[in-house]
Structure 1
Amino acid sequence: MRILHTSDWHLGRMLEGRSRINEQARFIDELCAIVEEEEVDLVLIAGDVFDTVNPPAIAEELFYDALNRLSAGGERAVVAIAGNHDNPERLCAASPLAVRHGITLYGLPKEILEPSLLVQPNQRRVVRGAAGLGWAELHIPNCADPAIVAMLPYPSESRLNEVLSQSLDEEILRQEYSRRVQELFSSFSKQFRPDAVNLAVSHLFVRGGLESESERPIQLGSAPTVEVEAMPSGAQYVALGHLHRAQAVKGAAVPTRYSGSPIAYSFSETGYAKSVILVEAFPGQAVSTREIFLNAGYPLVKWQAKEGLAQVQHWIDEGKDLHAWIDLEVSLTKALLPQEIHLLRQQRERLINIRPVFPETEQIIAESRSKLPIDVLFRKFYQDKTGGAEPEQELVSLFLSLIDPDKDSECQTVQDEEAETA
């Protein structure tokens, strides 16, 4: 059985107000081509199909078109679960129609799935032969053995409809959350059989995973990290969503991977290779995996023009990073004029941010600050972060005692002398 793992499409997401829908449509085209070329039998979509719980109509249209093309009229199985950005009910609204085409949409962690009723075996269509709480058995044309898929959509406390701990201690909350995820996977995994391809798919954050700035938390209720031991050891492969950097989960008992997002969604992902994972599996055997790299999204790059606007103009003229979104930092001696900004954007439409830097001014500020006492610098820092509030003396003393106990004593002595004089 050949399985393709993808996640975190975030259809409808923008970049600093710029639409990415054309890139997302190209990704869907690329994905469908890969599925056909690699003769994939089952597609796993591990959550965050949409970027918001109320996606634009064009994003929903793109998703349903993708499902239709990927399922190949019911001959290929597709499983999609809800991530933290998805509205579970909205994602699964088309389930009664989708299941007739071999598509399983699964929104909430405690939903009970039903077997296919209107589709019978031997009709060259995917059949959900059996199903229940958190699992489904899929019979797929051209596959001698069924796939049993354990599914755990984004399991926040609110979506589980549970209070996992009365304690507010972060460590206790994390332990209880991880324990509950392990219990759920253990329950779902009881359906695994030696004569089937056993898979698990979820949308969560396994402790130790590498994050990027584009993973915006959207949740109701606590949903901390999960220990790697919570992953189902009975599965042959665990497909995860949530982290946007493609990566294997270290320390997992079985192959466990994040496929990552198909296109870069923030400049923190500059240089990331985007991909999907192809898995080849047979019952009772170790799986083989292969990363297939994607080209649909424009890369996100950072320009640092230390030689000023002339250097930026030179890069534009030579066509540097022509098909990329650009974050520009340019060193200047005077402020940019509006017409200069307009000209830059006119010449390169995907120039997103333009941040002027004034090295001489920064150096003067740094030098002046270096001459200030450490307690004065701390007070200024506190005021910057709190909108001008003055820190209490106990807080200043605590800070000074942490970095230099002697300095705190000196500062306190001076303050005592000033108080006595007053």
Structure 2
Amino acid sequence: MKLLHTADWHLGRSLEGRSRDAEQEQVMDEICSIADDESVDAILMAGDVFDTVNPPAASEALFYDTAQRLSLGGKRPVLIIAGNHDSPERLEASKPLAGRQGISIVGRPVLRPLAIPIKRTDEILVLGCVPYPSESRLNECLSEMNDEDMIKAAYNERLAQLFHMQAKSFNEHAVNILMTHLFAAGGKESDSERPIQVGGAYTVHPSAFPHSAQYVALGHLHRPQSLLDSPVPARYAGSPLAYSFSEAGRSKSITILDGAPGTALAVNEVELKSGHPLTRWRAENGLSEVHQWIEEGRDPEAWIDLEIRLDEAMSMHDIQALRKARPMIVTIRPIYSGIEADRERSERSNLPIDELFIRFYKKQTDGAEPGADLIRLFMQLIDEDEAAREVAAGRIPNEAD
């Protein structure tokens, strides 16, 4: 069977107040097209459908339309769990209608997995579904403990138990997958994952994943990535759009799984093309350099985070002119040379003398580190020079007298 793994749509999310609705419509259309072109048998959506628990009506409409298109009118199973940004109740409210379209929605952790018939291959997909497992959703009061390490250990142990409860229904005649939305140790974060935790959620170690799973479909982290330390193949599909400038220059994708019961699943990443890229401009030569880039047509389709080095404050006219010339400049952060120099001098004045010497040496030698003997020699010369100054000032006697 062939499966499409996606996550973290965050429908309704903006970029510093700039609407991303049109981009989200484009990328949802692209995901639907990939599902059709790849002839996938089922869709796995690993949480954070929406960006807030109370999403705009337009975002809900986009979700319903996308889910219906992915399901091919009930012919293709679509399996969705809630993420930490989703309201479990709000997602599950549509279950009576969604179920008629072959769309299964799981808002809260359950003990038994779903068994989904895949008609094309005459196989069964057994899917363990663990939506975002906050304390409240697990109905656990871990926060009553006082020791932070005990809380984390208890949380990891509770999740391991829940995963293995799901795995009891795995069998050798099915494709067995665990889908969950959480932070797994070893995953690389980005600034766009805004934590929303009720009661506090903690890291889960990949060793908690059941070894009988053929794949763990993860949601929560926005960078597409596989977990290297996991005992079973485990992967974050990532968000379909870049939602913060910390993701500038990184590609987005969905994951296609292909395999059969009792075999290793082939894992293929399919890059997404929709949406405007996010990029950072660093103008070391002031406004003239920025205007030159604009005239050259640099990054014409990108959202831009601009940092500009200046000797004097920008006027409102300068700011408005930049935004008029390039409306997709999202943030403008001036760096004033004088202020920066004062800050550097202040920082240097608080450093030990040996650290100042190390910095000076590295600067003079293009990054080479001074050896311990050289540092000791330098400190000895400093001490001797200081002693000579004291003698000259008459504050200590000259041994030669």
Is this contact kept in 2: 1:2–1:42, CA < 8 A? yes
User: Structure 1: how far apart are the matches of 2:231 and 2:341?
Assistant: 52
Q: Match for 1:247 among 214, 225, 234?
A: 225
Q: Aligned with 1:331: secondary structure?
A: strand
CA distance in 2, matches of 1:98, 1:361: 58
Give 1:56-67 correspondences, 5 Å limit.
Answer: 56-67=56-67
- Is the CA contact (8 Å cut-off) linking 1:2 and 1:278 kept in structure 2? yes
Q: How many positions carry a matched residue from both structures?
A: 352
3-state secondary structure, aligned to 1:322: coil
2:386 maps to: none
Measured at CA, do residues 79 and 147 of structure 1 come closer, stay the same or move farther in structure 2, by a change above 3 Å?
Answer: same
- Contact 1:134/1:188, CA 8 A, preserved across alignment: yes
Indicate the residue corresponding to 2:165 in structure 1.
187
Contact 1:75–1:140 (CA under 8 A) maintained in structure 2: no
Aligned partner of residue 101 in structure 1, secondary structure: coil
8 A contact 1:134–1:152 mirrored in 2: no
CA distances 1:303-345 after superposition (whole Å, capped 9, x unpaired): 0000111110011111101111100011111111111111111
Report the equivalent of 1:349.
327
User: Equivalents in 2 of 1:46, 1:107: separation in Å?
Assistant: 11
The aligned counterpart of 1:29 is 29
Task: Give the TM-score taking structure 1 as reference length.
Answer: 0.81
**CA 1:15–1:194: 2 relative to 1, 3 Å:** same
Contact 2:117–2:123 (8 Å) recurs in 1: yes
Letter in 1 for 2:258: E
Q: Counterparts in 2 of 1:19-418, with a 5 A limit?
A: 19-110=19-110, 133-164=111-142, 166-371=144-349
Listed one character per residue, the Cα deviations across residues 361-413 of structure 1 (whole Å, up to 9, x for unaligned) are 31134224534688xxxxxxxxxxxxxxxxxxxxxxxxxxxxxxxxxxxxxxx
SS of aligned partner of 1:146: strand
Provide the rounded CA distance (Å) in 1 between the counterparts of 2:238 and 2:260.
Answer: 25
Letter in 2 for 1:298: H
For 1:3-22, what aligned pairs fall within 5 Å after superposition? 3-22=3-22
Q: Following the alignment from structure 1 to structure 2, what is the Cα–Cα distance between the partners of residues 368 and 279?
A: 55
Aligned partner of residue 331 in structure 2, secondary structure: strand
Q: 1:168: Cα distance to partner? A: 2.3
Matched with 1:382 is none
Tell me, yes or no, if the aligned pair for 1:109 and 1:134 is still in contact at 8 Å.
no
* Residues 294, 325 of structure 2: 8 Å contact kept: yes
Q: Aligned equivalents of 2:222 and 2:347: distance in 1?
A: 39
Give the secondary structure class of the aligned counterpart of 2:100.
helix
Helix, strand or coil for the counterpart of 2:71? helix
1:225-245 CA-to-partner distances (Å, cap 9, x unmatched) read 001111121111110000111
- The percentage of counterpart residues that share the same residue type is 50
- Using the alignment, how far apart are the partners of 1:373 and 1:144 within structure 2? 70
Structure 1 vs Structure 2 CA RMSD: 1.3
Aligned residue for 1:223, secondary structure, equals: coil
Would you say the 8 A contact 1:262–1:274 is kept in 2?
Answer: yes
Note if contact 1:165-1:176 (Cα within 8 Å) is conserved in structure 2.
no
Q: CA deviation at 1:207?
A: 1.0
Measured in 2, the distance between the counterparts of 1:20 and 1:239 equals 26
Which 5+ residue runs of structure 2 have no aligned equivalent? 353-401
1:138-161 residue CA offsets vs partner (Å, 9 max, x unmatched): 113212111111100000101111
Decide whether aligned partners of structure 1 residues 360 and 282 sit closer, same or farther in structure 2, where only a CA change above 3 A counts. Answer: same
- The 1-side partners of 2:222 and 2:83 are apart by 13
Give me the whole-angstrom Cα distance separating, in 1, the residues matched to 2:271 and 2:348: 48
- Conserved in 1, the CA contact under 8 Å of 2:128 and 2:163? yes
Give 3-state SS (helix, strand or coil) of 1:339's partner. helix
Q: Which runs of 4+ in 1 moved over 4 A?
A: none
C-alpha separation in 2, matches of 1:102 and 1:248: 29
Shift of 1:165: 6.1
TM-score, normalized by length of structure 2? Answer: 0.85
